[in-house]
Structure 1
Amino acid sequence: MATTGCGLVGTTNSEEKRNGIRVSGKGIPGSGTSGNDNTGISFSESVIAKATEPSGSPGVHSAENPGFESATLLDQLQDIAQNAETATPIMDFITVHIEKADQKTADAMLSELQTFYARNLDDVSYLYYSIEEKLINKMYDYSLQWPVDENAAAAILDDEAREFILQLSMSGYKLGLAQGTFEPLIDYNRQMQFGKWLSETMNQYIEIEWIEAEQPFAKDGGLLISWDELAQRALRAESFLQKYPDASEESRVRELFDMYLNVYLGNAHTPNTLVYDYTTLKLNAEVRESYGETMKEFPDTVTAKLIAGLLETLVSTKDQLMMKDQSNAYLFMPAVKTFYDDLPSKIDDLLPTS
C-alpha cells in the first residue's frame, strides 16, 4: 500500500489527492523580470493602468454594453496570469478590479488565481528549498505568531527574512510551521476578503479549502483533528458535491471528500491514528461512537450510508478489520477488503453526476 506525504496509507491515488489539498511546496519565486524588465508589482501596476483608461477604452463599463467591462477585465487578468512569475500581479489586479466585475466574472477571476497556484507549485518549491536553511536559522530567533502572514512579519528584525515573508504575503501565501518544518501555504483569508462579490458556490469552495489550510486534518502519520471533525469535513465536502455537481471546483472537492472519507472509514489510514485497535484489530470504540453520531445526525447522507455499509460488513467479521498472514503482515479481512475495493463505485453511484 502507498504512503503519502502526510502519512496516509491505503489507496494508490491518495498521494495525488493529498497534494491537491493545499500548497505544501516551499517558497515563492522572486519578483524577477517577465520579458520586459518589469517586476511582478510594477507589471501589475502597468496592467491596472491599462484597465482604467478613460471612457471608450477597453475595460470601461457602458450603458450600451453592460457586460463589456467584465469580459475585458477577465481577458486582461488572463493575460497577466499567462505572463506572471508570481501570483502578486494577479492578486493585485483582482483586489483593484473585482468590484467592477459581475458575479460570474468575479468567480472566474478567483479561478484564474487558483489555477495559477496549482501550476506554479514547482517554481514555488524550488525557490523555497534554495533558501530554506538560511531562512529557518533566522526565523527561529524570533517569537512569532503562526502562521506568519504580512502582519506577523512586522516583528521580524532581519531584513531578508522579513522581505521574503512580505513577498510571500503579496502573492497570497503565508508561512506555516508544522513539526518543526516551515512551509508556504495558500492564505485563503486573502481570497475570503472577496466574498461579497463571489457566488455562494465559490464562497463555499474557498471555505472548504480555508478549513484544511488553517488546520490540516493529518500530518506525519497522525490525525490532527478528532474523528468527529473529520466526519464534519467529509460532510461539508459532500454537501458541496450534492448542491453543485456542475461546479468547476467539483473535481477538487471530490478529491477532498474521497480523502476524508477513506481515512474516516479506514480504507486509507494514518499509521499513528488507526480506526482499529492495534491489539485486537477490531474497530476502535471511539471511531464506532463517532460513526453512530454521524449516522444519527445525518442519516440521509452518502457518508452515513457508507458507514452503515461498513458496519454491516463488520458484523460478519465480528468487528475485526485486520488480520495477520503467515508472515505476520497485516491485511484487511477479506469481507472488509471487498467493501473497500467497491467503495469508489459506491460513492459514484450515490453522488449526483454532472
Structure 2
Amino acid sequence: MKNSGYLVLSSVLAIGLLTGCGNSGSTSSQPVQGETTPQTNTPQKNQPTVEQDVIKQMQDIASQAKEPVELITYLDKTIKSVKSETADRLFVILDDYYATHLIGLNESFSKLLAENNNAQKLYEIGFPVDVTKIQEEPLKKYVQDKLAGKLALTDNEGDLFWMVDYDALKQYSRYLTDDMKSYLELQWDEYNKPISRDGSLTISHQELGERIVKVEKYLTSYKNGIKKTDVRNLYQTYLQEYLSNYRYDAIDEKTMKLLPKVKKAYEQFIKTHSDTKTTSIIAEYLQIINQNKDVIYEHGKAGESIIGDAKPDISKFWGSLPQKVEQTFGA
C-alpha cells in the first residue's frame, strides 16, 4: 500500500490541567472534573476526506473536459500521492471518459481530415506519427493534444482514427490495485494485438482460446471487480469470435464443415484447460458439432451466397451464448 503523501492536520496534544485544590506541594496533574481529555487527531480521520476530494476533482474535470489531456494532466499530478484504491477510481474515470467521448472525437477528426488535404499529409508522415514533421501549426497542435491525452493514431481499411493508447497508459499500472492492473493488462493485449482486423481474425483459434482463459481468470479472481461488466463483455466478444463468427478460414465452403484445425483447437482447449468454466461451454458446443458431423452451415442459394443459414441446433447454441455467459459469471 502506498503512503498517501498528503499533509494531514498535526496531532492535538492532550494537556493535563492542574486542579485548584489539594496539597500545595503536589505536582500531580488531574483533568478538571466534567472535562474530557482531548483526543489525538489521527491521519485516518482526515485521510478519507483528502482522497474523496481528489476523486471529486477528477469527476469535475471529466464532466467539463473537451480533451482527454485535461484528465491526464490531473492524473499525473495526483496518482503518485494517493492510495491504490483511489488511483483505481481516478483511472476508471479516465477510462469511462474515453468510452463516452471517443466516438464524438473521431467524428470531429473525420471532418478535420477532409480539410486542407490533412489526411494525405498524415499518411505521408506515417505511423506512429512524428509530430515534428507536421508543418501546419493548427494540425500539429491538434495531434499533440491527442497524443498527450494518451490516444494513438491508427487506420482501419484506409480510415484514420484515434484509439486509446493502452501502451502509454501502462505507466500507471504500478499505482493501481491488482484488480485494475489485471484489467489494464487485458486492454493492453487487445490494443497491442487485436483479435480481428478488416473482418478477419488476426490470431489463431488456439491463441484466441488462451485470451479467453486470461479473461476468465480476471472474472473468477475479481468477482466484484471494479471493471467486471466491461471484462465480461470482452469475454462474450471473444467467445463469440471463437465459437460462432466463422469466416472463410474456418469453414470448408464445399462441404460446409468446420475445418479440422479449428475443431482440433476446441478439443485441445478442453484437454488443456479442463479446470476452466469455459470448458463446459466448449464441450457442449463440440457435442453439437459431432452430432452434425462437423457441418455448420447449409449450402447457400445459387447466385445469392455461398454459405447459407447455420444448422438449427448450431444457431440455437450461438443464440444462447449471452445467457450462458451471464449464468456462468453473473450479470
Is the CA contact 2:68–2:146 (under 8 Å) kept in the aligned structure 1? no
Match of 1:137 among 103, 113, 120: 120
Q: Distance in 1 between matches of 2:138 and 2:184?
A: 31
2:145 corresponding residue in structure 1:
167
1:257-316 per-residue CA deviation (whole Å, 9 max, x = no partner) reads 1111111112x33x454x322221111112112112222221121222222111111221
Q: In the TM superposition, what whole-angstrom CA distance separates every residue of 1:208-248 from its partner, at most 9, and x where no partner exists?
A: 11111222211222111221221122222111111112123
**Post-superposition offset of 1:347:** 2.6
Match of 1:113 in 2: 94
CA distances 1:155-198 after superposition (whole Å, capped 9, x unpaired): 44554443332111111201013333221110112321111110
- Structure with bigger RCO (C-alpha 8 Å, 6+ apart): 1
- Structure 1 residues without counterparts, runs of 5 or longer: 1-51, 57-61
Determine the C-alpha separation between the residues in 2 that align with 1:81 and 1:217.
Answer: 30
Cα distance per residue 1:61-89 (max 9 Å; x no partner):
x8352333212111111111111111111
The residue type equivalent to 1:203 in the other structure is K
Counterpart residue number, 1:277: 252
For residues 250 and 207 of structure 1, the distance between their equivalents in structure 2, rounded to whole angstroms, comes to 14
Does the aligned pair in 1 maintain the 2:102–2:163 contact within 8 Å?
Answer: no
Q: Which residue of 1 aligns with 2:51?
A: 70
Does the alignment pair 1:84 with 2:65? yes
Secondary structure of 2:257 counterpart: coil
Distance 1:342 1:78 in 2: 38
Distance 1:226 1:159, change over 3 A: farther
2:280 partner letter: K
Aligned pairs for 1:258-277 (under 5 A) are 258-266=236-244, 268-269=245-246, 271-273=247-249, 275-277=250-252
Contact 2:256 / 2:299 at 8 angstroms: preserved in 1? Answer: no
User: In the alignment, which residue of structure 2 is the partner of 1:127?
Assistant: 108
**How big is the shift at 1:322?**
1.0
1:193 is the counterpart of 2:174: no
**What residue is the counterpart of 2:235 in the other structure?**
257
Indicate the residue corresponding to 1:293 in structure 2. 268
Aligned amino acid, residue 132 of structure 1: L
Kindly name which structure, 1 or 2, has the bigger radius of gyration based on alpha carbons.
Answer: 2
Alignment of 1:1-354 (within 5 A): 63=43, 65-133=46-114, 134-142=117-125, 144=126, 146-148=127-129, 152-266=130-244, 268-269=245-246, 271-273=247-249, 275-324=250-299, 330-351=308-329, 353=330
1:169–1:277 distance in 2 versus 1, CA, 3 Å: same
Distance 1:313 1:169, change over 3 A: same
Greater Cα shift, 131-140 or 311-320: 131-140
SS in 1 for 2:155: strand
SS at match of 1:193: helix
Count residues with an aligned counterpart: 289
Q: Is the 8 A contact 1:69 1:100 kept in 2?
A: no
Distance in 2 (CA, whole Å) between partners of 1:276 and 1:147 is 36
What is the alpha-carbon distance in structure 2 between the residues aligned to residue 225 and residue 157 of structure 1? 38
Gaps of 5+ in 2: 10-41
Report the TM-score, using the length of structure 2 for normalisation. Answer: 0.79
Deviates more, 1:65-74 or 1:80-89: 65-74
2 CA distance for matches of 1:254 and 1:164? 35
Residue 258 of structure 2 aligns to a residue whose secondary structure is coil
Are the counterparts in 1 of residues 222 and 228 from structure 2 also a CA contact under 8 Å?
yes
Structure 2 CA distance for partners of 1:156 and 1:282, relative to 1, 3 Å: same
2:55–2:89 contact (8 Å) kept in structure 1: yes
Give me the whole-angstrom Cα distance separating, in 2, the residues matched to 1:325 and 1:131: 43
Identity %: 24
Name whichever of 237-246 and 155-164 sits farther off.
Answer: 155-164
Contact kept, 8 Å, 2:298 with 2:310, in 1: the verdict is yes
Deviation at 1:104, TM superposition (A): 1.1
Q: Distance in 2 between matches of 1:233 and 1:84?
A: 34
Offset at residue 54 of structure 1 (A): 9.1
Distance 2:61 2:163 in 1: 22
Q: Which amino acid aligns with 2:62?
A: A
